[in-house]
Amino acid sequence: MFNGSYNKMQRRMSHQMTRPSGNAAFDAYKSETLSRLEKEQDNFEAFLKRLRDAKDKAEFDQFMNDRADSNDAAAEPTQTGPTTA
C-alpha cells in the first residue's frame, strides 16, 4: 500500500512541519502528534509485511504439498495385466 518513495516524501514533509510556530504548547503537541503518526505508520507497514510473508509461506507450503502429492502418485506402481495370486 505504501511504498518507499511515499515514506521518504512523508518524512521530508514532517521535518518541514517541525519548524517552530512560536507557540511552545502547540509546537509540543505537533511534535508528539507527528511522532505518534510516524510510529503508527511504521507499525502498519510492519503488519502489512507480516501479512505478505504469511501469504507467501502459505503459497509455498501449498506448492510443496502439491509437489509431494504428485511425486507420491507417480511413484505408485500401476497394474498392467491380470494379477496372479
For cell 512560536, name the residue. 22
d(CA 35, CA 27): 12
| Grid cell of 41 as nine digits | 505508520
pTM of the model: 0.56
Give pLDDT, residue 79. Answer: 62
* Residue type (1 letter), 28: A
Q: Which of 57, 18, 61 is nearest to 37 (CA)?
A: 18
Q: Name residue, grid cell 512523508.
A: 10
In this prediction, residue 27 has a pLDDT band, given cuts at 50, 70 and 90, of: very high
Torsion of CA 41, 43, 46, 51, to 10 degrees: -100
pLDDT at 9 over 60: yes
Average pLDDT of 3-29? 80
